[in-house]
Structure 1
Amino acid sequence: MSTVFVERVIVSVVFGLAGLAKVLALAFETEAFVRWGFPVGFMYFIGILEIAGALGVWMRKLAPFAALCLAVLTVGAVATRLIFAEWVAAVVTAGVLAITLHFVWQKRRELFPH
């Protein structure tokens, strides 16, 4: 089993479940977005993007772009966690960001062909 495969599974499961929680408007997600001052519609939008990215990492030509987009979303998530002093969540989210960026790095030749 390759590193790329393991990272692909981690990225797709983490973002797929996170996106599903947002799209289903689970209480903890709705409460968090309200606490952060974001509209609930933004939560649905982020959830849809996360689900699309989770599916996209399994599509050969789309995988590096999908992961890069997920990484950009995750930078925003880390920033939000830091702004609201949610330190443990910020560290966990930064770990997900690191895995996602490593996946992008592994697929960089597909992202930027010579």
Structure 2
Amino acid sequence: MARILIVDDAKFMRVTLSNILQKGDHEIVGEAENGTQAIQLFEELSPDLVTMDITMPEMNGLDALKAIKNKAPQAKIIMCSAMGQQKMVVEAIEAGAKDFIVKPFEESRVLEAINRVLG
């Protein structure tokens, strides 16, 4: 069972992801709605894994990813993106993201990505 931090500005998306992950026997240790909160919670909670939305207010997922990887190079982060954000996904992978999942979330794909990254 992994301890997971969910980062997404849409409450609906956090709830959806949370339900999928809990079905997969993972524990949700925290939720953040922007990059600034994500960095803060990452430091407080030291989760095993972070799911990070790309497009968010205040600080986007790409900047938050870079900030977290800077402080904790071992951090496991999976990006969540809507269709048509390929360029940002490539940038995120180059910046150290381990994988990405596309919205709308497909349960089997989400769990597969999580388990592969935790592997």
- What TM-score results when the alignment is normalised by the length of structure 2? 0.29
Whichever structure has more strand as a proportion of its residues is 2
Which structure has the bigger radius of gyration? 1
Larger relative CO (CA 8 A, sep 6+): 1 or 2? 1
- Structure with bigger helix share is 1
